[in-house]
Amino acid sequence: MERFFKLKEHGTNVRTEMIAGLTTFMTMAYILFVNNLFLGPDGAGIPQEGVFFATAVGAGLVTIVMGLFVNIPIALAPGMGLNAYFMTVVLSSNGAITWQAALGAVFLSGIIFLILTVTKVRQMLLTAVPNNLKVAITVGIGLFITIIGFKLGNLVSVNINPETDISQPVAGGAFNLALGNFMEHKDVLLALIGLFLIAILMVLKVKGALLIGIVATTLIGIPMGVTNTAGLSGASWFPSFDNLAVGQMDIKGAIGIGLLEVIFIFTFVELFDTFGTLVGTAGRAGLLKNKEQGEKKLGKAMLVDAGGVSAGAFLGTSTVTAFVESAAGVAEGGRTGLTAVTTGVLFILSLFLAPLALIVPAAATAPALIIVGVLMMSQVREIEWDDFFIAFPAFLTIVLMPFTGGIANGISAGIISYVVLSVFAKMSGRDVKVHWLMWILFIIIVLRYAMLGIE
């Protein structure tokens, strides 16, 4: 094992790597509970058992492959933000787009992702889009997820315009937000307790704060009558293979109903999300000190990540991608693929926890979404707000995601405004360089809204 993972060469040992893998799992395991909110019966409509199986197995297998094939301490799982967008696609279509077709779109985006990686066009796209817009996309998705968390925990209520249906947190329309009443509704009180509990754990820098918070809030919800434990009676603690979504992706359906924009957004967001995670985590692990070897490792990691997208869709989940929480394992000393393999094995073993995962109420997982929003929002400081040419596109990218209920709208507005303002910035004498791919993206987006309108 030491020879295969080159532990001595990386200044580590088996014990350190396994502890790091456990730490990474603890910080990521919340996705086992949260993913069902987006993809399950109350979200996109996939059966609960199918979502849990796909999440655990998808994260486990792809992470193990990352560890064995690339030998880096990076773990993967269905990505936050992309699972929210998946739900958006299904719910906002009013039945026109099934979850099977949406999985087909994810699968095709993985194939495109693989092609872009092999041909190295992926690296070109990452260079084309300004760093400030990349950061703004992450921040905007954070706010988008936060709104969903507040709504799912009923911490805010929605006053609906009678002419517009926004009964779902991601649908468009005119609405007013108001604070939920925790004095009258126990689920609101439980969500509030959970939110402060996780926040306190984060302040105390407790490893696995999100997972611990979800579990503790679920237990607190039992005497409150919010957590329904009836499902544990007679439950099987062996993995259930009933109601799975394996192989149910509808590729023909995705192509037939014209999900080109959806495929594009899945690919587009994944490009930036993965790049930042891979580079940031690998850098913190000291794997990029040798530029040539570092680039080779990142190239292999991108191949595994691309394959994981399609593999996840086949299993029945939204985009499987590299998780920034991998940095927690790196902080514990993880330096090789043994860390990732340990994390992957733990995800697969979590299949035996399915009965527990399925009783977790929305009020226990909603706080985790809000905290994730906080973590994603923290990157806003990297945007150059003093430069209006940069600030305006970044601002539109960020605010239009939660305000319009569409991740695609935010990204599109950011690209369009950046390209337009670059023309006038040059007229003012600034040395502004806009990559030719940005102009192609600009044209594609304008044509998209011209032909399909604004949703």
Q: What's the pLDDT tens digit per position in 234-270?
A: 767 777 777 899 999 999 888 877 667 677 777 776 7
Helices (H), 316-384: 326-331, 337-349, 354-357, 362-377
Same domain, 235 and 278: yes
- According to the model, what pLDDT value does residue 42 have? 84
pLDDT in tens, 271-293: 666 665 666 566 656 666 676 77
Same domain, 120 and 230: yes
Domain count, the chain: 2
SS percent in the chain: helix, strand, coil, step 5: 70, 5, 30
Write the CA distances from 58 to 74, 242, 355, 386, integer angstroms. 14, 17, 19, 42
Question: Which of 357, 373, 394 is the last residue in one of the domains?
Answer: 357
Q: Angle of helix 260-284 relative to helix 99-118, nearest 10 degrees? A: 60
Same domain, 243 and 124: yes
pLDDT at 232 over 50: yes
Q: Is residue 57 part of a domain?
A: yes
Q: Is residue 14 part of a domain?
A: yes
Q: Is residue 161 part of a domain?
A: no
Same domain, 351 and 389: no
* Token reading at 9: 């060469």
Q: Is residue 110 part of a domain?
A: yes
Same domain, 391 and 284: no
Long-range contacts of 284-291 (CB under 8 A, 24+ apart): 284/327, 284/330, 284/331, 285/72, 285/73, 285/330, 285/334, 285/335, 286/335, 287/72, 287/335
Element spanning 123, H or E: helix 121-128
Same domain, 333 and 279: yes
Question: Which of 357, 373, 405 is the last residue in one of the domains?
Answer: 357
Q: Is residue 27 part of a domain?
A: yes
For residue 297, give the nearest of 36, 73, 61 by alpha carbon. 73
Q: Is residue 216 part of a domain?
A: no
Q: Angle of helix 209-224 relative to helix 362-377, nearest 10 degrees? A: 150
Q: How many residues does the chain have?
A: 455
Q: Average pLDDT, stretch 55-83? A: 92
- According to the model, what pLDDT value does residue 280 have? 55
- According to the model, what pLDDT value does residue 373 have? 83
- According to the model, what pLDDT value does residue 454 have? 52
Same domain, 340 and 420: no
Spatial separation of the C-alpha atoms in residues 432 and 414, rounded to whole Å:
16
Same domain, 409 and 283: no
Same domain, 78 and 26: yes
Type of residue numbered 387? D
Same domain, 337 and 425: no
Sign, CA dihedral 250-253-259-260, equals positive
DSSP category for residue 45: -
Spatial separation of the C-alpha atoms in residues 126 and 132, rounded to whole Å:
12
Same domain, 434 and 344: no
Domain, as residue range, for 60: 2-132+223-357
Same domain, 278 and 421: no
pLDDT in tens, 333-357: 888 999 999 999 999 999 987 777 7
pLDDT in tens, 393-420: 999 999 998 888 667 788 889 999 999 9
Q: Is residue 157 part of a domain?
A: no
Q: Is residue 325 part of a domain?
A: yes
* Token reading at 98: 């099934």
Spatial separation of the C-alpha atoms in residues 370 and 255, rounded to whole Å:
34
pLDDT in tens, 387-399: 999 999 999 999 9
